[in-house]
Amino acid sequence: MTFAGWLQIAVFCLVVLAITRPLGVYLWRVFESKSRPLARVFGPIERLLFRLSGIDSKREQSWIQYAAALLAFSAMSLVITYAILRLQRFLPFNPQKLGGVKPALAFNTAASFTTNTDWQAYAGESTMSYFSQMVALAWQNFASAAVGIGVALAVARGLTRKRAGTSTVGNFWVDLVRAIVYVLLPLSVVIALALISQGAIQTLSPYRHLTTLEGGKQLLALGPVASQEAIKMLGTNGGGFFNANSAHPFENPTPLTNFLELVLIFAIPAALTYTYGRMARDQKQGWALFGAMMFLFLVGVTCCYAAEAGHGLGNLEGKETRFGVAASTLFATVTTDASCGAVNAMHDSFTALGGLVPLVNIQLGEVIFGGVGAGLYGILVMVLLTVFIAGLMVGRTPEYLGKKIEPREMKLAMTYVVIFPLFVLGFSALAAARPAALSSLANAGPHGLSELLYAYSSGAGNNGSAFAGLNADTPFWNITLAIVMLAGRFLMILPVLGIAGAMAGKKTAPPGPGTFPTNGVLFAALLVGVVMIVGALTFFPALSLGPILEHLAGRAGRVY
């Protein structure tokens, strides 16, 4: 570990902290204020889209209507994406004359990008045409991120509104349009231009045939990269235009772009905590969530950096030397904290404990900042569990923001908590017993189990990163991972929206002498404890057989 490495981590934290308030205020004004920012610029576009789509922006929906609209939109998005990939050979902007994507892989990819996972069982430069990259995949990066923001806002409205008897949580179509028009699209344009200025490419030219200095022949893959890179990071989508992902110099050309991409991953998830504080009319509520998330992030990045730095130059296997150990471990921690999935180093080459950190980050449930929107609604479920446990400890009916937490909310919260490990561990056990699945692993023993466990954790957690030691382009992996990704997104969104609907219409009571405060350091510490205990109790046995056993075996001098 070096001073320069710790300085990078410290500067990153300070920059994230600095942008949290202004971006959080901007998001609050976009979605909750009557005076939206830049109304003269974006207002006409918003109104035109509402008019063309027949959307009544003043009409709100119940949680069931909100969920129905979300599921219908996502289902249609999945079908359209699948069709584009299958018909790729007949569509324009395909200078490499690439054929249609195989059925199982097309289904996996459509499910992946619809769920904001962006798991890739293919090499982008040899599989996807420019049209598929721009129209199918990049569009889904915008849409799936907007869906996540919408759900987070719906949950926040259910918890913070003080209108008894009114169970509406917003309008899905309004949230979707505003997220894209006011937030994701304009920011992505600015970011793409910044990336281009640093050397990221943006072109529709065909691939180039080059002759190397030694006289060899090489095919140089090109494409409209910068535009997709911008929304992939800002929307915590992950994936990569190229197979090497953010380790590729056309996607991530300089240390400055590497730092910019890291900040983009955390930008909206961190800002949403401030937005939540504004909605709750108590900014300390938002800072308590931010503090808990930042503490968990710092613990993870410290452990990962310590494991990878070691002595001397540290573990450089699978890392770009232009970024080094510190930037690579910071990237690995950030991308798995925020369910982004983009990588600038291969996690399969990390040490056993270094690779344990990204895996645990995902398995904690997408709550350490988390995906765009998903991080906020995930941590709010943990908040309700924490409040419930605190209520049991002091012998009082649990309350949050003046609203009672009753059996229905607890049942929905526990449903949310159980779904994730059910699909991760269930499908991991299935794969461990199937030769068709095991044949895709690059390693046997504990490391092979880590590769397998990481794949399903990444899919169910809608992260999308991989250990890079798994050949996932087989019918078994494509289909099972698609099922896990869809379940990890939509089966977990439904109970969250149910909580929003149940809480929205409840009466609020002013805080009394026995009210447990939820906006201070003590509550943030309890929240961290609940997050860690839920993750540890669920996944520790599996982790003991994977990265932990690999580390202990390595210390004993055994090789698997």
What residue segments make up the domains of the chain, in order of their start? 376-555
Q: Which residues of 201-230 are buried (b: 16+ CB within 10 A; e: fewer)?
A: bbeeeeeeeeeeeeeeeeeebbbbbbbbbb
Residue among 283, 240, 343, 49 at smallest CA distance from 57 = 49
- Residue 557: which pLDDT band, with cuts at 50, 70 and 90? low
- Residue 207: which pLDDT band, with cuts at 50, 70 and 90? very high
Q: Tens digit of pLDDT for each residue in 133-157?
A: 999 999 999 999 999 999 999 999 9
Q: Tens digit of pLDDT for each residue in 329-359?
A: 999 999 999 988 899 998 888 888 999 999 9
Amino acid at 397: T
Model pLDDT, residue 188: 95
Dmax of the chain from CA atoms? 81
Rounded Cα–Cα distance for residues 241 and 127 (Å): 10
Residue among 51, 54, 50, 23 at smallest CA distance from 37 = 23
Q: Is the pLDDT of residue 556 over 80?
A: no
Worst-scoring range by mean pLDDT, 5-14, 183-192, 434-443, 521-530?
Answer: 434-443
Query: Mean pLDDT over residues 189-198, rounded?
Result: 95
Is residue 352 within 8 A of residue 551, CB to CB? The reply is yes
Rounded Cα–Cα distance for residues 69 and 80 (Å): 17
Q: Tens digit of pLDDT for each residue in 360-391?
A: 999 998 889 988 999 999 999 999 999 998 88
Rounded Cα–Cα distance for residues 488 and 474 (Å): 21
Q: Is the pLDDT of residue 6 over 90?
A: yes
Rounded Cα–Cα distance for residues 28 and 36 (Å): 9
Q: Tens digit of pLDDT for each residue in 157-180?
A: 999 988 766 789 999 999 999 999
pLDDT > 90 in the chain, percent:
68
Question: 3-class SS at 315?
Answer: coil
Model pLDDT, residue 417: 93
DSSP string, 270-339: HHHHHHHHHHTT-HHHHHHHHHHHHHHHHHHHHHHHHHHH-STT---TTB-TTTHHHHHHHHHHHHHHTT
Residue with more model confidence, 315 or 60: 60
Rounded Cα–Cα distance for residues 378 and 121 (Å): 27
Q: Tens digit of pLDDT for each residue in 31-90?
A: 998 888 998 999 999 999 999 999 998 999 999 999 999 999 999 999 999 999 999 999
Rounded Cα–Cα distance for residues 322 and 319 (Å): 9
Q: Hey, what are 493's tokens?
A: 């969104």
The mean pLDDT of the chain is 91
Model pLDDT, residue 300: 93
Residue with more model confidence, 315 or 183: 183
Model pLDDT, residue 560: 44
Model pLDDT, residue 559: 47
The residues facing 209 across adjacent strands are 219
Q: Tens digit of pLDDT for each residue in 390-443?
A: 888 777 778 898 888 989 999 999 999 999 999 999 999 999 999 988 888 888
Query: Mean pLDDT over residues 485-508, rounded?
Result: 93
Rounded Cα–Cα distance for residues 460 and 466 (Å): 12
